[in-house]
Amino acid sequence: MRLDKYLSDMNVGTRTEIKKAVRQGQVSVDGVTVKNPGLSVNETSSVFYQGKEIVYEVFSYYMLNKPAGVITATEDRYQRTVLDLLPAERRKDLSPVGRLDKDTEGLLLITNDGDLNHRLLSPKHHVDKRYYAEIEGNVNESDVRAFADGLRLDDGLLCLPACLEILKSGDISEIEVEIQEGKFHQIKRMFEAVGKRVLYLKRLSMGPLVLDPSLAPGEWRKLTPEELASLQAE
């Protein structure tokens, strides 16, 4: 591929900025300063941009703390999507892994690695997802048992056993719940099945991937190599 494409794929700047930097001698390939943005390079080339090594990564993996009010989709004519939260040059062929409702916050993995996306969502795989929620109504031990036994939803669907932990019980209860599947509106429908309503919902983890507490809603970062390795081992 062309050198300017290599650098632009790795998001070091816009194509115009990259071309300028190359022409000004700020880029080296395999130890030699180059001035031609169209130079042919490949994924194994050693490329330095403004003194920093830029390793070519075929796939990108981002952790987003999804805020309420944006939809989990790649594009929409009317509503803001989770991809609108990433800078335009990073979006390319990215997709969210699974879906959070518009009013749900928290951990969302975004990647262009279709195989990983598929594997993590496969119903055979049972990747655990943990949520924090605020519930209208007094969540009690009989709810904990009902979740553990496997709830039946309004459409007759029988849920796999889920682990419900009560953090605070009252008119508005606080809980954490871990489910092994990801059916449409699952947590909200599980609480409806026990006569209660979800007021606030946030995903805390997905398999081994835990939401980084330093990310404010709407913020994102790349996965660390350790996080990626743990997901790939799932």
How far is 176 from 183, CA to CA, in rounded Å?
18
Smallest gap from Cβ 16 to ligand URA, in A, equals 39
Rounded alpha-carbon distances, angstroms, from residue 216 to 85, 121, 202, 211, 221: 12, 25, 12, 10, 11
Q: Which two tokens stand for residue 62?
A: 């981002």
Which residues, including other chains, have CB under 8 Å from residue 184's CB and lie 6 or more apart?
none
x/- letters, 158..187, toward ligand URA (CB under 6 A): ---------------------------xxx
Query: Which contiguous run of DSSP H or E holds residue 16?
Result: helix 15-23
What are the backbone dihedrals phi and psi of residue 203, each rounded to the nearest 5 degrees, phi first? Answer: -85, 130
- Determine, following the binding rule CB under 6 A, whether residue 188 of this chain makes contact with ligand URA: yes
Given the residues 84, 101, 128, 212, the one annotated as active site: 101
- Determine, following the binding rule CB under 6 A, whether residue 101 of this chain makes contact with ligand URA: yes
Smallest gap from Cβ 122 to ligand URA, in A, equals 17
| Residue 185 vs 222, nearer CB to ligand URA | 185
- Determine, following the binding rule CB under 6 A, whether residue 63 of this chain makes contact with ligand URA: no
- Determine, following the binding rule CB under 6 A, whether residue 111 of this chain makes contact with ligand URA: no
- Determine, following the binding rule CB under 6 A, whether residue 80 of this chain makes contact with ligand URA: no
101: annotated active-site residue:
yes
Any bridge partners for residue 106, and if so which?
66, 203
How far is 114 from 59, CA to CA, in rounded Å?
9
- Determine, following the binding rule CB under 6 A, whether residue 104 of this chain makes contact with ligand URA: yes
- Determine, following the binding rule CB under 6 A, whether residue 5 of this chain makes contact with ligand URA: no
Q: Which residues are catalytic?
A: 101
Interacting residue ranges for ligand URA, rule: CB under 6 A? 100-101, 104, 185-188, 201
